[in-house]
Each structure stands twice: as C-alpha cells, then as structure tokens.
Amino acid sequence: MRASVVIPTYRHFATLPYTVKSVQNQGVEDIEILIVGDGVDDATRAAAQALQADDPRIRFFDLAKGPRRGELNRDHVLQQAQGRIICYATDDDLWLPGHLEAMEAALEHADFVGTMHVDVSPDGRIRAWYFDLNAPEFVAPWVAWKPNNLGTWANDGFGLSNAGHRRDAYLRLATRWSTTPDGVPTDNSMWHRFRREPWCRMTFLRFPVSLSFEGRDRSGWTPQQFAQELERWSAIIAAPDGMRIIMRGLLADLGDRLLEQSIDHARRRADLIAERDRHLEESRNENRQRTALVADRERQLQESQDECRQWAEITAERERKLRESHDECRQWAEIVADRERRLNAVLGSTSWRMTAPMRMVSRAIRRLRRGAG
C-alpha cells in the first residue's frame, strides 16, 4: 500500500468530513485513512462511522481518551498501518491538491519530511510561515525549544498536517508516539525524535501542501461556523483557479510581512545611526570640554610655575641679603671682640692702674668747671 493517512480526532465532528474529503480528493486509490478516535463524543463517533461506511479505505479506531493529545493511541494505530509512508492530517485542516504525491516523492530519498505551514485567518487571509529543516538558523533553536527570532514570516516548527515519514523509519525509532510532558508541543516533540536519530534522513518542502485553520484564532465559534468555513475553502481548493488564488494570497501576505520587517529594520537602523551620531556628538563635546579643561589646567600650572619661579627668586634674594647680614654681623662681632681685647689689654696694664687717681682728679675738675660755668 502506498500510504497510510492518520487523522486524530476528539470533538471536531463538524470539520472531520471536510478533512477526510480533502484526503480522498488526492486522486490516489492505494491508501488507507486511519481515523484515530481519542475519547470522541457521540457526534464525532457518528461522523467517523458514517465516513467509514462510505469508503472501505477508511478505518475508525474508537479508543478511550489518552493523556495529553492521545499520543499513545496514535502509536497503537500506527502499529497496524499498512502504508509504505505515513502522512497526517489534523481533523480541522484541509489538504491541498498534490499533497500526497509531494510527500511520497520527498520520501523516496528521505525518512522524514516537513513542509511549509500555511494557515487561514478568520477574516479569510492566507498566511505563510517559513521554516527549513535544512537550515541551521531554523534547526538549532528548534531542537533547543527556543524561538528563532528571524521575523514574523518565520515559524518555530511545523504541525501535524505538515509532516510525513516512512513507516519503517517510524518502527526503527527508539521512542515512538508517547505521552508528551506538559508545556511541550506534542507534534514537534515527535519530530525531534526523528531528528535525534543519526540514521534519519530529513528533508523539507518549501511550498504549501495543506491549509490550517487555527482553533485558538476562532475562540467562541460554533461547530456550524467551523463547518461553513471549511466548506467555503474546500470549494476554493476544488476550483480550477483555486491554487492560483491560494498562492497569490500566500505571496501577498508573505511579501507584506517581509516588507514590514524590512521597513522596521530600516527604521531601527536609522534609529541606531541617529543614536550612534548622538553619542558621537556627545563624545566630541566631552572631548572638547576635556581639551578645554586640560588647557585650563596647563595654564594654571604655568601660572603656578611662574609664581614658584618668582618666589624662588625672592627667596634667593632674601637668602643673599641674609648671608650679607650674617657677614656684617660676623665683621662687627670681630671688631667688638678686637676692641674688647684691646680694652682688656689696656685695663690690665700697670700704667692704666697707676694713672687711675689722676684720671679721677681730672674728671672731678671737669665737672667743677662745668658746674661753675
């Protein structure tokens, strides 16, 4: 058998028939469609059973609700799959024409294939999200559970309807579909298991093969609203110019986001340049202020040096005068010492002592004369 198509379902009874129809419209007869019921309600069970009754290629597995997204139920069904390759469809997505053929061709020389994610907004716009399993810029953050931050046009992974693998590759895995820890995306966690195997050959298709209708963007919608939307898009896909409409919408949306990012980058670049210029001007002003401050300090230093030289000259002049004064003092000291020496010599002589009475009489006579006059 060429392929097994796995469609997990839970409560989407209104959209499940449109998803199955998009698989049936692939124009390939040698396939099986495996509807994995993960604790379905009565309405979903009835829808799956009706689909099974109308097409012998459909097998419905009415299983009890499993943990998380019922990953263990998926593994249970895949153990019974007969297809050479395994493809997936979410029960509220639509396959585009050529989906199965593109996946089959890619898996001729690969064990796992991923594809470009494209979704439809509630207002009918086609939105493309780019990813590439062959580009390290995408793969490195993807396996580390980190955003790649490449832009609004880039995706951080790809969902269930955008993947396929060989059945024999799945059976070789060390760990197959199993309950995923809380907080970890179920589908991408499974794709990581293929990525970790050294033997696994992975490839990526850079074009859309399905349309996704995100439930989180349609909070509060009734089942009838979901069904009406898929009915409208099923008609667009089936129209002769359906793919042209989708590709035009895809390219327009992707172009708008790329342009918006380019403009945003240009603005941020201009802001960075302006900020850099502002910092440069501030630096120049600081340099000018610093230069003026240095010049002022040098002027003050020169003035201080001039004052120091003046004080040095004054001090030298004072020291010179002080030395002259010391010399004069020494000369007078020598003169006084000489006079004292001479005086002492006279006073100590015999003639001076013998003539002392005569000097006394002479002084007395001079006083009397001054008194008489």
Task: Give the model confidence (pLDDT) of 101-137 as tens digits.
Answer: 999 999 999 999 999 999 999 999 999 989 999 899 9
Res. 163: pLDDT tops 60: yes
Half-sphere exposure (CA, 13 Å, Cβ side) for 107? Answer: 26
Sequence-distant (6+) residues with CB within 8 A of 174 are 193, 197
- What is the percentage of the chain residues whose pLDDT exceeds 90? 57
How large is the average pLDDT for residues 61-81?
A: 94
- Alpha-carbon distance 261 to 211, whole Å? 24
Residue 200, classed as helix, strand or coil, is coil
**In total, how many domains does the chain have?**
1
Q: Residue 158: which CATH number?
A: 3.90.550.10
Res. 301: pLDDT tops 60: yes
Task: Give the model confidence (pLDDT) of 220-242 as tens digits.
Answer: 999 999 999 999 999 999 999 99
In a domain, 309, yes or no: no
Residue 347: predicted pLDDT:
63
In a domain, 139, yes or no: yes
Residue 326: predicted pLDDT:
82
In a domain, 286, yes or no: no
Residue 281: predicted pLDDT:
77
Q: How confident is the model at residue 267 (pLDDT cuts 50, 70, 90)?
A: low
In a domain, 114, yes or no: yes
- Calculate Rg over the CA atoms of the chain: 54
Select the more confidently predicted residue: 340 or 156.
156
Q: What is the pTM of this model?
A: 0.71
Sequence-distant (6+) residues with CB within 8 A of 306 are none
In a domain, 215, yes or no: yes
Task: Give the model confidence (pLDDT) of 328-364 as tens digits.
Answer: 778 877 776 777 787 777 666 666 567 777 777 777 7
Give residue 83's domain range: 3-237
